[in-house]
C-alpha cells in the first residue's frame, strides 16, 4: 500500500479492519526500518501465540486471543516503534517504560537496537494468558 498516508512519526494511516490483511497493509506502508521491525514483530507474535487474532484500530496493529481479549499492539513514532502490553505491569520482568495507565507497560524498539526475541516471546506468552483489553 505505497499510497497510504503517513501520520506523525511515520505511522501509517490504515482503515480500521479485522484479520491479517489490514495488519499486513500497515506493515507494508510503514517506512523503512519501521516496516522491517513490524514484520519481525508480527511473525514473532504469530509463532509465539498460535491462532492469534489481528486487527488495525486507531492506525495501530492489535493482537488478541480467541475470546477477543487484546493483549498487545505496536505503533510507529519518529525514533522508535512502541510495543504496548495492555497488562504489562503483570509481566515478569515488567517491560521498562511506564504508561499513564497503571497496568500498561511499553517496550520501545529503535532503529539500531538488537532485539531480544526470547524476552519478547516470553512477554507475549505471558500477556496472551492474562485477561486482555476489551475494545
- Give the pLDDT confidence of 15-58 residue by residue, as tens digits: 999 999 999 999 999 999 999 999 999 999 999 999 999 999 99
Give residue 106's domain range: 8-129
Residue 9 has pLDDT above 90, yes or no: no
Number of domains forming the structure of the chain: 1
The enclosing H or E element of 60 equals strand 60-64
Position 134 in a domain: no
Note the pLDDT of residue 100: 97
Question: How far lies 117's CA from each of 11, 23, 77, in Å?
Answer: 23, 20, 21
pLDDT tens track for 59-71: 999 999 977 789 9
Average pLDDT, the chain: 93
What's the CATH number where 91 sits? Answer: 3.90.1150.200
Note the pLDDT of residue 134: 78
Note the pLDDT of residue 3: 62
Residue 8 has pLDDT above 80, yes or no: no
Position 19 in a domain: yes
Residue 1 has pLDDT above 50, yes or no: no
Position 34 in a domain: yes
Position 54 in a domain: yes
Strands of the sheet with 53-57, listed across from one edge: 17-18, 53-57, 60-64, 70-76, 80-85, 105-110, 97-98
Position 90 in a domain: yes
Position 24 in a domain: yes
Position 125 in a domain: yes
User: Residue 67: is it exposed, middle or buried by C-beta count within 10 angstroms (0-12/13-18/19+)?
Assistant: exposed
Note the pLDDT of residue 22: 97
pTM: 0.92
**Average pLDDT of the residues in 75-88:** 96
Position 81 in a domain: yes
Amino acid at each position: 500500500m505505497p499510497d497510504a498516508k503517513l501520520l506523525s512519526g511515520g505511522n501509517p494511516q490504515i482503515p480500521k479492519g479485522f484479520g491479517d490483511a489490514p495488519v499486513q497493509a500497515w506493515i507494508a506502508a510503514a517506512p523503512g526500518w519501521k516496516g522491517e521491525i513490524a514484520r519481525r514483530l508480527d511473525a514473532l507474535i504469530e509463532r509465539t501465540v498460535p491462532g492469534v487474532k489481528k486487527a488495525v484500530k486507531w492506525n495501530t496493529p492489535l493482537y488478541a486471543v480467541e475470546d477477543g481479549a487484546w493483549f498487545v499492539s505496536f505503533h510507529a513514532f519518529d525514533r522508535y516503534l512502541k510495543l504496548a502490553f495492555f497488562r504489562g505491569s503483570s509481566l515478569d520482568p515488567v517491560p521498562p517504560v511506564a504508561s499513564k495507565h497503571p497496568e500498561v507497560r511499553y517496550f520501545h524498539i529503535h532503529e539500531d537496537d538488537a532485539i531480544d526475541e526470547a524476552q519478547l516471546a516470553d512477554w507475549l506468552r505471558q500477556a496472551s494468558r492474562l485477561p486482555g483489553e476489551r475494545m
